[in-house]
Chain A
Amino acid sequence: MAYLELKNVSFQYPNGYTAVENVSMEFEKGEKVAIIGQNGAGKTTTVKLMNGLLRPAKGEVLVGGTSTEKYTTAQIAKNVGYVFQNPDDQIFQDSIYKEIAFGLLKSGMGKAEIDKKVKETATLCGLENVLEEHPYNLSYSKRKFITIAAIVVMDPDVVILDEPTAGQDRDSTERLGKIMNWLTAKNKIVITITHDMEFVVKEFERVIVMAKKQKRRDASPKEIFWDEELLKFSNLKQPYICQFASLLGYRDVLTIDDMIGVTE
């Protein structure tokens, strides 16, 4: 049964601008999904509807079968965590430990248990050696991991990551993959907005394409990246290997191994 559901949601900003129209999607526990699309397609609005930051004008959002209507965003955050793109919009403590622990302090959890969880999450995010440091001692890209840790430690059932790969180097991108897999292994839902097509191919089996305020397709990377009409309409480009294969007349190639396979 779907844990997170958007049912025919539409949203309009106060100035009359419609950001999403009649969007429906479902997510089951343990799934990892990428949402891709040009800027302005409605991706961010859609995920903000998931955690209650925005409320649908039409349709409903269900978490665990219950509508989010009567809950505040902070309440929904227990189940649906959203890591913002800019970590500096969230960080306010003077040590990384405190920043990660902040959400747990209110939950009534015992100190020993909080300590254990914080250290576990910090290790997952590569921050185990800098827990006593001030968050701003770390570079911008490393600070992103602090906010990821702060959300993951709260143990929500859904974790939404907004462009986590922007500005990251190879090691950090790999670590992101590890974090996502750790979450899905614990039966969490991971939803990632990204522009990095190679990252999508490497890490996801399900991709949702958004374009012009609507969900256009929900399928595997192979189906999406070889749907030329969809890509053109959505103003998206294929990953480089697909472009290469396409220009040489091959189809349905997604990875380097695929390509080697067809050219033998």
Chain B
Amino acid sequence: MAEIILKNVNYQYPLEEKEVVCDFTYCFEQGKVYGLIGENESGKTTLCNIIRGFIPELYRGKLEGEILINGRKISSYDSGELASIVGYSFQNPFVQISGVKDNVYEEIAYGMENIGVPREQMIKRVDELVKMFHLEELVDKNPYELSGGQKQRVALASMIALDPEVVIMDEPTSQLDPKSTEDIFEIVNILKKQGKTIILIEHKIDLVAEYCDSILLMHQGELVMHGDAKDVLTDPKVLEYGGQLPQIVLYFLKQGKLKGNEIPLTVKEAVEKILKEAQR
């Protein structure tokens, strides 16, 4: 069953002349991990704001086209309802701290409190999430006093607490160091195993190649390339549109011995492939 359908979506910010998203049509299927890539300002964040309903509810401007979530028009959903269906996480860890809770344990529960989840259920869920995201040592700390990576993990846990079917992550690791980045992608994996649909905006293309099933490449507001990761991320055309390719792919493209989607995307795949070849 298709999860999110966008048809001919156009959007213009108020007071701007250019369309930030042009004629966007795509169908996001349940349970897949989508990598949304492209230059900065190509429309990726705007697109995600539209999917989550922030546009047009919180941003004015001209929105055209159809957006359906689980078969229903997005405009038919209550704003509170949408939070439990489409989760959203932001690039800036600081901004995602609610600011009203003085410890991580309650911070995670905040969203559930807002929708009126009974207390026993909340406690169970928070305990679950603390375990899932390895936050045991942080539960008593003030969210403001955490490091960037820790804040980001707590923000994700709080968002997942509402059990959304779709999770949008907008550059979750941009401001983090490699270790924290790893922690975040581990979470992506966990969510993937839970069958959630994930839309990930990321610049770290090697990690995108490792974790994403499908790729969408945006350029100047348009969806210029899309498909399975192994088809898109092995295509040099990505570079023409301001996107990036994984290091391994660049290697094989330069070397020239493999073509098209025979090219492996990650170090692991490449090594396996070469060792298998050597055995023959």
* A/B touching: CB–CB < 8 A: yes
Using a CB–CB distance below 8 Å, which chain A residues touch chain B? 38-39, 139-142, 166-172, 195, 198, 235-237, 239-241, 243-244, 247-248, 256-257, 259-260, 263
CA distance A35 to B218 in the complex (A): 33
In the complex, the number of residue pairs spanning A and B with C-beta atoms less than 8 Å apart equals 72
Complex contact A167–B171 (CB within 8 A): yes
Complex contact B247–A166 (CB within 8 A): no
17 pairs from A and B in contact (CB 8 Å cutoff): A39-B147, A39-B177, A39-B179, A39-B180, A142-B40, A166-B174, A167-B40, A167-B171, A169-B203, A169-B242, A170-B243, A171-B39, A171-B242, A241-B247, A241-B248, A260-B251, A260-B255
Of all chain A residues, the one with the shortest Cβ separation from B174 is: A167
CA distance A263 to B254 in the complex (A): 12
CA distance A256 to B250 in the complex (A): 8
Which residues 245-271 in B have Cβ within 8 Å of A in the complex?
Answer: 246-248, 250-251, 254-255, 267, 270-271
Q: Could you give, for residues 233-251 of chain B, a 1 whenever the CB lies within 8 Å of some chain A CB and a 0 otherwise?
A: 0000000001110111011
Q: Apart from A241-B248, A241-B251, A248-B274, list 17 A-B contacts with CB within 8 A.
A: A39-B149, A39-B179, A39-B180, A141-B40, A166-B175, A167-B40, A171-B242, A237-B178, A240-B267, A243-B267, A244-B248, A244-B270, A247-B267, A247-B271, A256-B250, A256-B251, A263-B255
Of all chain A residues, the one with the shortest Cβ separation from B255 is: A260
Could you say which residues of chain B place their CB within 8 Å of the CB of A139? 40-41
Of all chain B residues, the one with the shortest Cβ separation from A170 is: B244
Using a CB–CB distance below 8 Å, which chain B residues touch chain A? 38-41, 91, 147, 149, 171, 174-175, 177-180, 203, 206, 242-244, 246-248, 250-251, 254-255, 267, 270-271, 274
CA distance A256 to B247 in the complex (A): 8
The smallest C-beta distance from A10 to any residue of chain B, in angstroms, reads 23
Could you say which residues of chain A place their CB within 8 Å of the CB of B267? 240, 243-244, 247
CA distance A64 to B92 in the complex (A): 38
CA distance A235 to B179 in the complex (A): 8
Could you say which residues of chain B place their CB within 8 Å of the CB of A166? 174-175
The smallest C-beta distance from B236 to any residue of chain A, in angstroms, reads 14
Could you say which residues of chain A place their CB within 8 Å of the CB of B41? 139
Could you say which residues of chain A place their CB within 8 Å of the CB of B244? 169-170
The smallest C-beta distance from A177 to any residue of chain B, in angstroms, reads 15
Could you say which residues of chain B place their CB within 8 Å of the CB of A39? 147, 149, 177, 179-180
The smallest C-beta distance from A72 to any residue of chain B, in angstroms, reads 29
CA distance A235 to B175 in the complex (A): 18
Could you say which residues of chain B place their CB within 8 Å of the CB of A243? 267
Complex contact A172–B40 (CB within 8 A): yes
The 7 closest A-B pairs by CB, nearest first: A167-B174, A240-B247, A39-B177, A247-B271, A169-B40, A169-B39, A256-B251
CB-CB under 8 A for A195 and B178, given A39-B147, A240-B246, A256-B251 = yes
CA distance A259 to B243 in the complex (A): 23
Could you say which residues of chain B place their CB within 8 Å of the CB of A167? 40, 91, 171, 174-175, 203
Could you say which residues of chain A place their CB within 8 Å of the CB of B246? 240
Complex contact A38–B40 (CB within 8 A): no
CB-CB under 8 A for A240 and B203, given A38-B177, A247-B267 = no
The smallest C-beta distance from B186 to any residue of chain A, in angstroms, reads 15
CA distance A14 to B204 in the complex (A): 37
Complex contact A260–B254 (CB within 8 A): yes
Could you say which residues of chain B place their CB within 8 Å of the CB of A171? 39, 242
CB-CB under 8 A for A198 and B247, given A169-B39, A172-B40, A243-B267 = yes
The smallest C-beta distance from B233 to any residue of chain A, in angstroms, reads 13
Could you say which residues of chain A place their CB within 8 Å of the CB of B179? 38-39, 235
Could you say which residues of chain B place their CB within 8 Å of the CB of A170? 39, 242-244
The smallest C-beta distance from A39 to any residue of chain B, in angstroms, reads 5
CA distance A259 to B255 in the complex (A): 9
The smallest C-beta distance from B41 to any residue of chain A, in angstroms, reads 6
Could you say which residues of chain A place their CB within 8 Å of the CB of B149? 39
The smallest C-beta distance from A37 to any residue of chain B, in angstroms, reads 9
CB-CB under 8 A for A259 and B251, given A169-B39, A169-B242 = yes
CA distance A263 to B203 in the complex (A): 29
Of all chain A residues, the one with the shortest Cβ separation from B38 is: A169
